[in-house]
């Protein structure tokens, strides 16, 4: 898998939050995704639950498995673009 430098990472914006993608299938990963999330002060989370196990490191990296999807309260599903 290649080394992705911050200047070369893809940034996605969702719900007033930015997700900087480092590891994903589009970058050569087959099983895990890794990104940095920047959440502005005062941002309210969107209620959801996830389809795969997820580990959160506050003020650090977040990783999850490829194929990760979130289910919103209305039953709709979202597959974040930084996990593709």
Residue pLDDT, tens place only, 22-75:
888 988 889 989 999 998 888 888 888 999 888 777 666 877 888 888 898 999
pLDDT at 4 over 90: no
pLDDT at 21 over 80: yes
| Number of domains the chain contains | 1
78 part of a folded domain: yes
CA gap 8, 4 in Å, rounded: 6
1 part of a folded domain: no
Q: What is the pLDDT of residue 68?
A: 86
70 part of a folded domain: yes
CA gap 14, 61 in Å, rounded: 17
18 part of a folded domain: yes
pLDDT at 12 over 90: yes
Q: What is the pLDDT of residue 60?
A: 60
pTM above 0.85, yes or no: no
Handedness of CA 18, 24, 28, 32 (dihedral sign): positive
């Amino acid at each position: 898998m290649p080394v992705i430098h911050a200047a070369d990472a893809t940034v996605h914006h969702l719900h007033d939050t930015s997700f900087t993608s480092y590891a994903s299938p589009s970058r050569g990963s087959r099983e895990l995704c890794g990104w940095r999330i920047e959440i502005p002060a005062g941002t309210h989370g969107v209620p959801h639950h996830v389809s795969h196990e997820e580990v959160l490191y506050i003020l650090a990296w977040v990783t999850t498995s490829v194929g990760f999807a979130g289910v919103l309260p209305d039953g709709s599903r979202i597959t974040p673009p930084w996990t593709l």
